[in-house]
Each structure stands twice: as C-alpha cells, then as structure tokens.
Structure 1
Amino acid sequence: MGRWIKIDGHDIRSLNLRHFRECIGVVSQEPVLFGTTIRNNIRYGQEDVTDEEIEKATKEANAYDFIMDLPEKFNTLVGERGAQMSGGQKQRIAIARALVRNPKILLLDEATSALDTESEAVVQAALEKASRGRTTIVIAHRLSTIQTADEIMTIVGGTVAERGTHAELMEKKGLYYSLATAQSIKKAEYSEESAETVPIKNHEETPPSNSLISEKASIKHIPQKVSEEEVKPEEEHLPQVSLLKLFRLNKSEWPLIAIGTLAAIINGACSPVFAVIFGKIVTIFEIKNVSTSYKEQIQHEANILSIIFAGIGVVSFLTYFFQGFLYGRSGEILTMRLRHMAFKAMLRQDISWFDDKKNSTGALTTRLATEAAQVQMAVGSRLGVIAQNISTMGLSIIISFIYGWEMTLLILVIAPVLTVTGMLEVSALTGFANRDKKEMQRAGKVAIEAVENIRTVASLTRERAFEKMYEENMQKPYRNAQKKAQIYGSCYAFSQAFLYFTYAAGFRFGAYLITAGRMTPEGVFVVFTAIAYGAVAVGETLTFVPDYAKAKSGAAHLFALFERTPAIDSYSEEGDKPDTFSGRLEFHEVTFIYPTRPDVPILQDLSLTIERGQTVAFVGSSGCGKSTSVQLLQRFYDPLKGQVLFDSTDVKHLNVQWLRSQIGIVSQEPVLFDCSIAENIAYGDNNRTVPMDEIIAAAKAANIHIFIEELPEKYNTRVGDKGTQLSGGQKQRIAIARALIRQPKMLLLDEATSALDNESEKVVQQALDQARKGRTCIVIAHRLSTIQNADIIVVINNGKIIESGTHHQLMAKQKAYFNLVNAQTLL
C-alpha cells in the first residue's frame, strides 16, 4: 500500500510546487521578518497586493492599531530579522503576511509558545479570527491555545496515540489529560496573612488594568526610517591612511620587503641596461667594409653582447622569483593580520554598535572578506612591480640624459601630461570604490538574509523576489563599473596613445640631431629604447590605479574600525576585579533608553534589591523591560540614569570581563557552535583548559550526561551548525552545562523553557532547579508554572515594578499577577 499526503485528492508530489505553496499560509514559533519596512514584509506574502489589502490583513491580524501608533506607520523599519519589534508584534505581522495571500490552508507551528500571556491572548485572538473558513493545522505545546480545535491529536513516536475534542480527551484521562494537568498552575486558598508583599525598594504600587502594557509601550527600540542613500557618520570622517601607516602593520616583515625591494630595483634596472646593449648590437651591424678582420670583430662583439643578454636573463629570473615570493608572502601575512584585527575590533564593539542597521551581519561579513584583500593590492606583490617600474623609469632617464640630453628633455616635457592623466584616474576611481563598497555590502546583506532564512523564503515562494532584489543591488555597482570603465579606458587610451606621439616627435628630432652631428645613431637607439621601456613602466604603473583606489578606500574603513573605542570595551583591562562576589544585586533608580531609539523609554526609575542566593522571577508583557534588565546586568548597555550594583559596587567600576565571568546565562534559543559537545561545554570558561572530568560533572548537573553517553561518539559528537543535530531540550541542557562550567555566582534564565514541549520542559526544569541551588538566580518567564517556587516574583509594566512578592502572596492580592495566572490556567 502506498504512502502519500493528499490535498483535495491529489498527491502533493504531483502538484506544481510554487502553486501549492502559494495556497498555504505559515506562522511559525520564531517568525522571520526581513530587514525592510512593515509594508514590504507583509507584501512578501503576495507581491501584487494593494495597500488597502495590506491594511485589511493587519486588521484581521490585530496588528493595525499598533502599526498606526508608530511614527512611520507601515513604513517603519523592523530591523534585521525583525529585531526591533516585540515578539507579539512580529507574530501579528507574520499572521498578516500569511493572510494577505488569502490561503486555503493555514499552518500554525507553535505560533504563541514564546509569547507572554497578554501578547499570547492578542495573537491567539488574531489566529482564531484568521482560521475561520480555512483548513487550519496547529502545532502547540500550550494546550490552552487548542481547546476549541475541532480535533486534537496526541503523537507519540511518530504515530497518533489519541484523537478527539478537548472534552473527549480529558474524559479519557490518558496522555492528553496528563499533559494538560502538568500545565495547570497551582491554586489554593489564600489568607490575608499570606498576602504580605516582600518589600521592594522604591517602587510605586499601581492598580492592575485590563491591559498590563499598552501597544505603544511594547514597541522596542525601533529606529526612525532611514534612507538607504543617507550618508553614514563614520564614512564622513574616515581617517587618512598612508602607505607608511600600512607598512607599520607590516613591520615584522620588513626584512622580506627590503630584500624584495632590492630584487625589484635590480629587476627594474635590467630593462635600461638591455636598452644600452640593444643600441650597441644594432650599430655594430652597420656596413663599413667587408674585410675579414671586420667580420671577426663583429662576431666577437656580438658574442660578448649575447652573453650579456643571457646574463641579464639569469639576473631577471632570480630577481623576479625573489620579488614575487617575498612581496607575496609579506602581503598575505598582512592580509591575515588585517582580517584578524578587523574581527577582533568587531568583537570588541559594544552591543549598541551592532544595533545600528549599517552593521548588519551581511555588511560585516562582506567587509571582513573584501577590505583586507583590497589593502593587499596596495602593499602586496604589486608594490614590488611599482618599485621595479620606478627603478626602470629612473635609470632609463639617467641613461637617456647621458646619451642624448636634448632628445630626453623634449620627451620629458611631455611627461606631466601622463601624470595629470593618472591623477584624474585616482580621484575618479576612489569615489567609485567607496560607492561600490556600500552597494556590495547591501547585496551581501540580501544574500545572507535569503540564505539564512531559506525556509521562510521558500514557504512564501519569494525566491524570485530576493533574486530580483539581489540583482537590483548589483545593478548599481555594475553601472558604476561601466562609468569607471569609460573613464579608466579614456585616460589609459590617452596615456598610451600619447607615447606614440612622443615617438613621432622624438624620431623626427633625433634625425635632426644626427644630421647636425650632435648625436650618433647608437645614442638615438639607446634613448628611444630606454624611453620605450620607461613608457611601458609608466603604463603598467597606471594600470594599478584602480586597485590602489580600492585599497585606499578599504584601508580607510578598516582603520576607522580599528580606531573606534567602544563605550563598553570588553577587551579592556581597566576596572576592579574583586577577589569575591557574594551575588547581591541592586537596581538603583535605573532609567534606560536604547541608543537607536532615544524617544522610547524602556526602564523608568526601576529599583530592586536581590539578596545573595535568591531566585527572582521577572514577569510582564513583551517590551516591558525584562530582557533589558538582564542585559544591563551583563553590561551590554549602561543605564542613562541610576546604577546597577554588584555587592554595592557600580558595574561601571568593575572590569567587564570579570563581571561577565561571574554570570552564567541560559536563553530561550541557546546558540551552540559547530564543534563537539565537549568543546561547546568547555566554551563556558575560556580562561583555562577545562579538564574532561569537570565537563562530565557539569553535564551530570545539567541532566544531559546519560543522553551523551548513549551517542556513538559520546562527548566528541558534533552538534552541527547552531546545534541543529540536537533537539531543543538537548540544546538547552548543554547550554546549562556550559553556564555551570564556570561556576557562576549568578544565573540568568531568559525564557529557558518557553519553546519546549512538556516532556523536554520537565527535564530541563529539573536541570535548572538543580543548577540554581546556592546561586543568585534571575528568571524571565512567560510560563508562570515554572516560577511558582521563586523567592520573589516581580511584575513589570512600562519599565516600572507594579507588583512583587511570592506566588502565594501575589495570588492573594488578586491584581496583575493573579490576572496573568488566570489567563494561563487550563483547567
């Protein structure tokens, strides 16, 4: 019996792929938005959609109101991967993108699992509205979101274990019932005595409202709309970079450069010497008489000059070899050094630098790949050719003056014309090089964005749109190259043609000097041959002008990066490094705004004291400041006002590396590196070589050791790019082990289980409970069932603490936290 998936009775393998995918709308757990405007992101769902249809889709997705609150409305840039939007806003834009194509099938893959309670309620309402009249398939871990489904299936080991409605499955008291029960939040009778709130320093108690946070307040640091053609500040103030400045970076290779330069000078001298020998060998064939002695003299002189020619060939072979080898070696070493310095400088920058849209992943990787290679063009093997050409030109002029100074002067009068032509080339091509760099970075950004998010691009059937976008970004460099070719071709053609004009004038003047008895035929041949080689050297040097222009532009951008000192320098050795850190934390009247969005306050006079060993949970809607608080603790940013204190010491006075070494973090989407499990765990402490027994101990503490031992290669198993070979729960536990290996005094858990299924969450939660024993722990959670045992639960709204206490105390108060719990209660 065959196996198939059928749509309306048709095997999907028989359907046209693009047509089939255009009938499907997908909203995933982590929706991918592209680095453009909200309007263009929605338009990716359907290319020919009108503005009215876009507005209709956003209204159906409950996104219209918050979009209209933005300064640029539908023209607001969402940032790379939608990073400038909150989770709920991204989801609703993704829903609008799916709805705008009016799909027959709607696939909802964990569309609300990573959202806070209030955002989930809004998004869930939008999803239910979007599902009407469409075949809808929902994958869900939060079972409260699928109670109204027509049919619910529980899957075990790839097969359907149970199916039915919510009520039917609850009556069976099977697997679905146990999953639903595991997600329910404990409720109890609360006495007035239990309602005493744990004191939190200097915060105002505000009454709960139906909405914990307004849509406008939940907007993250969204930058104002910026024109693509806007001049970047760093590009306006690029440092002047001379060859000497580049050579300083190459100083350890100066012996190689010195020997290579000597070889180039000798090599350059071969051509003028050849000119002299050539002039002599031409003139010895003049017929003066036919005597036997004269023939023997011609033969003798020809033999000697031929031997000299052979000697010049041997010298040229050796000097070319040493010139190419030594300059090539020093140039490649410099390229490697520049790339290393550029990468190190990028890692040194503070997080706000990466928030800037011009420092996107695509732009930075393009710069890293191209700029160092461009610099090598100026100081690599071609610099040896330039040294060779200077030697050729210099010796040619000297020899020419010796053999015929009058003819030489005539030719040199014309030389400034060639110089001016070369200067015009440099100035024109430098401008083109700067423009090309910006356009290539944009093209690189499009390419990386499309490849990294290929699943989203394929599901939207927008492959051709990105292909067209990439081609459009390549069109400007192409047109610039055409203009450059015209200017370069004109200047080069003029300089080369002018050489022949010089020959015409020189030969005519040489004939006059011979008839006047002021030059010999040998002298005329020597001067012309020497000048010819000098002219070739000038022409060859001018062909390097475009490369020099690119190298100068690349060096300026690199040195601008090298010389930028970040406000928070992670490589700095400055700051205190206390011998001990107890784990006591304090936020003292902290106010913060993101540098890229100075008109949107994130934290407002937030004050909170966390004692040593306490577990404190932050809850609240997306964009209220929970993750921002954690980033301030890691000193990714500094507060605009107020202080963040570690054991009563302002974090600004502490060494950044020491500060971060005291912190272990497990995030919602942990990043694993494409190496072995053991290496990933050892990355947690790079200050030493972590022994294997410590790695195993950390894995046991993270509840992952047994799983690793069952793998064929055990701890040497590679996890794949970003940990793709592992499940979500396995990645989380390896991330926990990585955090524990450094023995941190403080543990930050940022939505560490929100994206996991029930079984994985249970295992990971056990590992987290074990990991936080004896440590100060800060938990950001949307699943409130995971924080019921926290010492303090802090409810944040609009960057302010509105409520705090234990789970029992806050439930007894029946305010904001109580409402959140009720919204998540399944039974």
Structure 2
Amino acid sequence: ASKGRTTIVVAHRLSTIQNADLIVTIKDGMKSLPEVSLLKIFKLNKPEWPSVVLGTMASVLNGTVHPIFSIIFAKIITMFENDDKTMLKHDADIYSMIFVILGVICFVSYFIQGFFYGKAGEILTMRLRHLAFKAMLYQDISWFDDKENSTGALTTILATDIGQIQGAIGSRIGVLTQNATNMGLSVIISFIYGWEMTLLILSIAPVLALTGMIETASMTGFANKDKQELKRAGKIATEAVENIRTIVSLTREKAFEQTYEETLQTQHRNTLKKAQIIGSCYAFSHAFVYFAYAVGFRFGVYLIQAGRMTPEGMFIVFTAIAYGAMAIGETLALAPEYSRAKSGAAHLFALLEKKPTIDSNSQEGKKPDTCEGNIEFREVSFFYPCRPDVLILRGLSLSLEKGKTVAFVGSSGCGKSTSVQLLQRFYDPMKGQLLFDGVDAKELNVQWLRSQIAIVSQEPVLFNCSIAENIAYGDNSRVVPLDEIKEVANAANIHSFIEGLPEVYSSQVGISLRALSNES
C-alpha cells in the first residue's frame, strides 16, 4: 500500500517498525516549563511579613522543645539510680513542673505558629488566585483559542494548581522551620554529650538524604505529567457539563464517560509508578533508622565500657538523634506536596509572566478627542493564530464612511465576524492596515477604541446582575446615573419593556437571561 508513496509510521515500540529508511526517536518533544523556585512565591507574601516573622519565631521555639526534652528524659531515666527516696521525690516534683511549663509553652507557641502561618498562607492563596484570574482576563483573544487554554484547563489552574501551591507554603513552612531547628539543635546536643557516637550515626545520614532526593525528583516529574492529564480531563468534564442537554438528547453519555476514563488512564498509570517509588523510599527511610539505632546502641555500650561515655550521655544522644530522625521523616513526607507545588508554580508564573500582544489594560496609545467613524480596511490579510494554514482574509480593501450603514453578507466562514473582531482589535492584521479616521488601529489606545464601538451580537451575553448595571457597563470610566441609563434605553426602544417589569431597572437578568424569560 505504501509503494511509491512517502509513508510516516507512528509507533510506541521499535519492534513494530519494519522496512523503514529512517527511524526518528522523539522524547520530551514538547517544550517544558522552566522550574520555579518557591522563594519566588514567598516574595508575593511580603505584605504579611509580620505574620511570617511571628510564625517563624514560634516555629523555632517549637523546634527547641524536643531536643530539650531529650536531655530531661535522659536525666529522668538515670534519676531512678538514686536510692534516696526523699531526693527521688524532690527530683520528680521538679521534672513534673518542667513538663507542665513545657506544655504551656507548646500550647502558646504552636497556636502562634499555626495561626500566623495559616493566615499568611490564606492571604497569599487569595492573592495568587486574584493575580491569575486578572492575568487571564487581560490575555489576547487568540490565547483563548488555544486548546491548552480551554475553560476546564483555566479553572484547573485556579482551583487545583494554586491549591497545590498552598499545600507547600503557609503552615508547611512552619513545619519545615520547626524540623530544621529540631535537627540542628539535636545534632549540637548530641555532639556535646557524645561526639564519637554522634559521628557514627551521622555518617549514615547521607543515605537518608539520598533517599529523600530521589523521592523529591521523581515526584516532581510525576506531578508535571499528572497536571497535563488532569487538565485534559478537566476540559472534557467542563465541555460535557456545558453541553449536557445536547449530550443527553443524543444519548452520548456513555461515550463521554469512556473518553473521560481513557484520559485518566495515563494519570492512573503514573500514580501506580509513583506509589511504588514513594513506598520504597518511605519504607527504606523508616527501616534504616532502626538499623542506625542498632549500630549506635552497640557502639554506645562499647564507649561506656571504655569509660569514654556515661549512660546518661548515651541516652541523651539516642533520644536527641531519635527526635532528629523523626523530623527528617516528617520533612521527607512533605516531598510530594513540595513537588506538586513546584509544578503548580511553574504553570502559574507562566501565566502571570505572559504579556499580551494587545494589552487592553495599557494606557499607551492615542486618545483622539472625537471619533468621526470613518473606517478603512487597506490590503488586510488575516488568519487565526490557532489555524495558520487557513487564510480568512486575503488583501481586503474596503472604506466605510461615517453615518453609512454597511452590511457584510456571505457564507459561513468567509470572514464577516472576523472583520468585526478586527474592528474591535481582538486581533491585529497579519498584513495591511485597519484605519480609524486615517489613524492605524495599532496606534490607538485599546480601551478608547473599544469604547467607541457598540456591538449587538446575535446571542447577547449579559452579566448576572440588574438591567441598569448591564447598561451602565457601557461606560466603565464613571458611575452612570439612572437618568442617563433610561435615556439610553429609550434610544434602544427597550424602555417600555423594562418599565413593564415588576422591579423595572432593578430587575435581575439571571444566568443566560433566564430571569427575564420567566418575567416575559
């Protein structure tokens, strides 16, 4: 069948390729997003620095509790060697009081840590969602034409990606600070009471660190892959819900269910691989701690027999290292959340740092005092960025004089709506010029240009608020008085209809004009 033809074969396995003149292996062909440091996100939390400072101070205080407890606990164990019951009771009272004091300190410090870090994290999450939504609103219209930026994908960024970022900041930073303090102080105390035994146990620590690095690296890779699959699944789910009536009328529920399930299969396979890596690293890190205890305990007994260490010192080192190991384990447990947060941050900052070609928020450009309404298409050629192989307009030249009514007539896809979108400057021509009163549209301020144009669509899209508010949206530069709103309604021959409604201009439009449909 392929004789005399240029044939391209796409395959997953090399063994399926036969009689090929050229074999090309493609891996990671799509451009990956650059990694984003979480420090870049923390900088957005700068206005909440008092809360972060207080939370950090409380975290450091909490991190000192366990190392201090290791000293107290070792002294309590050796306290029972004393045969003097009076002294034993006296020491017991003192240590009991110390425990009460530690409990009060922990109650206050843990509350401060949780409250202030939680507060800072929630404020940052709200700020990130606001910045992300704002960035979406000001993107080029062509950006929304891309399938990667569908409704489902964008809602996934707002709901999932930013939620994952929150999972690695806020209270999690308090836990990391607490664990770092715990580990550092535990090592210092261990060196003071038994440096030889501490060195032996710490020599095993790089193995745990390597396990954590492997887990973190693998989780980051899986998180990026999962995110792409979940975005595709979100797109399918959103489209299905938006067009549920059509799907039900055509009895295509099963087809969409299967499509959604197939999209999740890749993410499911990634999850199985991820579970194996997490399980192996988690099991090894926890089991290895007890191996270290076995070596340390045997070496500690040897040091005691040699007179180079006291039993109390050995218990202090053991307890301190145990709490340090617990801190390491808790930190490693946060690795998946940290990986997901980095992946979410990469997508978020790719959105925040993308500058639109046509910036509707920019104040640059000319703002003429008047707009006569003379429009000219001069040798305009255009194709949609998402379909560069389909030329919509080819050298269109047309003059529209002020005060004249011009009708664009033609078959579907001939460029009628495209011409109007060029007038609104949703897109710029690939070639040629679009002139307003002799001025190139690219030289005019985008907000000013769009404020001069009134669009009545075949299917008008109104906001779910009152009729007066929808009319007032025509001028966002000021608060439009009701008298002026009524004047505009009269000019549009809709004033009588509005006056016939129970709540007149305060009547709610509703979603998809449902409220007005019920009224009429």
TM-score, structure 1 as length reference: 0.58
Contact kept in structure 2, 1:239 and 1:559, CA below 8 Å: no
1:664–1:467 distance in 2 versus 1, CA, 3 Å: same
Partner in structure 2 of residue 696 of structure 1: 486
Partner in structure 2 of residue 488 of structure 1: 278
How big is the shift at 1:230? 10
Rounded Cα–Cα distance in structure 1 between residues aligned with 2:287 and 2:372: 80
Aligned-partner residue type, residue 421 of structure 2 = Q
Q: Deviations over 1:483-516 (max 9, x none)?
A: 2111101101100110011111111111111111
How big is the shift at 1:559? 0.6
Rounded Cα–Cα distance in structure 1 between residues aligned with 2:160 and 2:468: 34
Rounded Cα–Cα distance in structure 1 between residues aligned with 2:110 and 2:481: 52
Residues 6-405 of structure 1 correspond to what in structure 2 (within 5 A)?
236-287=31-82, 289=83, 294-405=84-195
Rounded Cα–Cα distance in structure 1 between residues aligned with 2:260 and 2:472: 40
Secondary structure of the residue aligned to 1:239 is: coil
1:320–1:729 distance in 2 versus 1, CA, 3 Å: closer
Partner in structure 2 of residue 432 of structure 1: 222
Residues 579-728 of structure 1 correspond to what in structure 2 (within 5 A)?
579-727=369-517
Q: Deviations over 1:321-341 (max 9, x none)?
A: 011111111111111111111
Q: Deviations over 1:703-736 (max 9, x none)?
A: 2222222222222222221223335998xxxxxx
Secondary structure of the residue aligned to 2:455 is: strand
Residues 541-560 of structure 1 correspond to what in structure 2 (within 5 A)?
541-560=331-350
How big is the shift at 1:231? 6.7
Partner in structure 1 of residue 23 of structure 2: none
How big is the shift at 1:243? 2.4
Query: Between Structure 1 and Structure 2, how many residues are aligned?
Result: 495
Instruction: Name stretches of at least 5 consecutive residues in structure 1 with no aligned partner.
Output: 1-228, 731-827
Rounded Cα–Cα distance in structure 2 between residues aligned with 1:720 and 1:463: 28
Q: Deviations over 1:33-60 (max 9, x none)?
A: xxxxxxxxxxxxxxxxxxxxxxxxxxxx
Contact kept in structure 1, 2:465 and 2:508, CA below 8 Å: yes
Structure 1 or 2: more strand by fraction: 1
Partner in structure 2 of residue 152 of structure 1: none
Secondary structure of the residue aligned to 1:273 is: helix
Rounded Cα–Cα distance in structure 1 between residues aligned with 2:29 and 2:426: 23
Rounded Cα–Cα distance in structure 2 between residues aligned with 1:581 and 1:681: 21
Counterpart selection for 1:569 from 327, 338, 359: 359
Q: Deviations over 1:463-492 (max 9, x none)?
A: 122122222222322222222111101101
Aligned-partner residue type, residue 72 of structure 2 = I
Secondary structure of the residue aligned to 1:606 is: strand
> Are 1:538 and 2:328 matched, yes or no?
yes
> Are 1:473 and 2:263 matched, yes or no?
yes
Contact kept in structure 1, 2:38 and 2:345, CA below 8 Å: no
Rounded Cα–Cα distance in structure 1 between residues aligned with 2:89 and 2:165: 52
Rounded Cα–Cα distance in structure 2 between residues aligned with 1:441 and 1:619: 39
Runs of 4+ in 1 over 4 A off after TM superposition: 229-233, 727-730
How big is the shift at 1:443? 1.2
Partner in structure 2 of residue 750 of structure 1: none
Contact kept in structure 2, 1:393 and 1:537, CA below 8 Å: yes
Rounded Cα–Cα distance in structure 1 between residues aligned with 2:514 and 2:411: 30
Partner in structure 2 of residue 449 of structure 1: 239
Partner in structure 1 of residue 251 of structure 2: 461
Contact kept in structure 2, 1:719 and 1:726, CA below 8 Å: yes
Rounded Cα–Cα distance in structure 2 between residues aligned with 1:319 and 1:646: 65
Root-mean-square deviation over aligned CA pairs:
1.8
Secondary structure of the residue aligned to 1:664 is: coil
Partner in structure 1 of residue 287 of structure 2: 497
Rounded Cα–Cα distance in structure 2 between residues aligned with 1:593 and 1:230: 31
Q: Percentage identity across aligned positions?
A: 67
Q: Deviations over 1:401-459 (max 9, x none)?
A: 01100111011000000110011011111111111111111111111111111110011
Secondary structure of the residue aligned to 1:613 is: coil
Partner in structure 1 of residue 7 of structure 2: none
Instruction: Name stretches of at least 5 consecutive residues in structure 2 with no aligned partner.
Output: 1-25
Aligned-partner residue type, residue 568 of structure 1 = I
Higher alpha-carbon deviation: 626-635 or 703-712: 703-712
Rounded Cα–Cα distance in structure 2 between residues aligned with 1:598 and 1:445: 23
Contact kept in structure 1, 2:220 and 2:343, CA below 8 Å: yes
Partner in structure 2 of residue 506 of structure 1: 296
Aligned-partner residue type, residue 223 of structure 2 = A
- Kindly name which structure, 1 or 2, has the bigger radius of gyration based on alpha carbons: 1
Rounded Cα–Cα distance in structure 1 between residues aligned with 2:130 and 2:368: 31
Contact kept in structure 1, 2:140 and 2:358, CA below 8 Å: yes
Aligned-partner residue type, residue 71 of structure 2 = V
Contact kept in structure 2, 1:400 and 1:527, CA below 8 Å: yes
Rounded Cα–Cα distance in structure 1 between residues aligned with 2:351 and 2:34: 10
Q: Deviations over 1:237-257 (max 9, x none)?
A: 423311221111111111111
Contact kept in structure 1, 2:204 and 2:292, CA below 8 Å: yes
Secondary structure of the residue aligned to 2:307 is: coil
Contact kept in structure 1, 2:35 and 2:343, CA below 8 Å: no
Structure 1 or 2: more helix by fraction: 2
How big is the shift at 1:580? 1.8
Aligned-partner residue type, residue 479 of structure 1 = R
Partner in structure 1 of residue 11 of structure 2: none
Contact kept in structure 2, 1:389 and 1:537, CA below 8 Å: yes
How big is the shift at 1:367? 1.5
Rounded Cα–Cα distance in structure 2 between residues aligned with 1:437 and 1:237: 12
Higher alpha-carbon deviation: 297-306 or 493-502: 297-306
Q: Deviations over 1:80-119 (max 9, x none)?
A: xxxxxxxxxxxxxxxxxxxxxxxxxxxxxxxxxxxxxxxx
Secondary structure of the residue aligned to 2:397 is: strand
> Are 1:421 and 2:226 matched, yes or no?
no
Aligned-partner residue type, residue 440 of structure 1 = L
Higher alpha-carbon deviation: 578-587 or 507-516: 578-587
Partner in structure 1 of residue 16 of structure 2: none
Rounded Cα–Cα distance in structure 2 between residues aligned with 1:232 and 1:676: 50
Rounded Cα–Cα distance in structure 1 between residues aligned with 2:129 and 2:27: 27
1:729–1:355 distance in 2 versus 1, CA, 3 Å: farther
Rounded Cα–Cα distance in structure 2 between residues aligned with 1:655 and 1:689: 22
Q: Deviations over 1:337-396 (max 9, x none)?
A: 111111111111111111111111111111221111111112211111011000100000
Contact kept in structure 1, 2:508 and 2:516, CA below 8 Å: no
Contact kept in structure 2, 1:570 and 1:657, CA below 8 Å: yes
Rounded Cα–Cα distance in structure 2 between residues aligned with 1:517 and 1:586: 99
